[in-house]
Amino acid sequence: MDANTNEKLSSSYAPFNAGEPNGKEMENCVELNLGSKRWTDIPCDERLQTFCHLPARTRFKIRGLPYRIGLDAEYSLNTDRLHGDFYTLVGYTSTWLYHDKTLGHWRLDLRTDKETWAITNSSDYPLGLRQWMINSTEFSGLSKLNIDVCDDQSEYNCNDGSCVPIIDRQHAFWCQLRTIRKMLN
Ligand SMILES: [Ca+2]
């Protein structure tokens, strides 16, 4: 495949060449012929140029953590891993967030020793400002943490977890309006 093409290529866009795929178990990779723009299945040990399409991942940010070196400030959604009805949020380095179905709360665990660092009661994803019970050697007690997907440069995070454009100087008003709308719905 040619990595330098600017064309958007996908399997739905490019059907197979005539007679392909024909490799059955022997040909489990594909090459793209840029002339015909059609796929051919080939053995996976053939070395060709490649291209990758990586969709941007939503970054969940946790704000208001008491100090602790090594705790994650950002998480991404792991859609391969379901805990009950919920996907897991995996921290970039040391922690993960998941729903404990048995106890009915969300846990922030250290991945290394499976120590539970904090919990919060929530029957949904724990987005927005919430009380977390933290239990660690450095800090123990209730703490307000906010989890959101707001962009630090261009958005302000509301207490309900939603984001409003920072350019809007009345952001507090829009946050309140969102809260009122939620209450009315
Ligand atoms: Ca083939």
**Residue 100 bridge partners (DSSP):** 105
**The tokens of 155 are what?**
């958005």
CA of 42 to the centre of ligand 1 (A): 5
Residue 82: per-residue pLDDT: 84
What are the pLDDT digits (tens) for 83-130?
888 999 999 888 999 999 888 899 999 888 778 889 999 888 999 999
Q: Torsion angle of alpha carbons 7, 10, 11, 13, nearest 10°?
A: -60
Query: Minimal CA–CA distance to 32: which of 22, 23, 86, 20?
Result: 20
CA of 27 to the centre of ligand 1 (A): 6
- Is 0.75 surpassed by the pTM of this model? no
Question: Would you say 29 and 44 are in contact if contact means Cβ atoms under 8 Å apart?
Answer: yes
- The residue whose two tokens read 């307000």 is 144
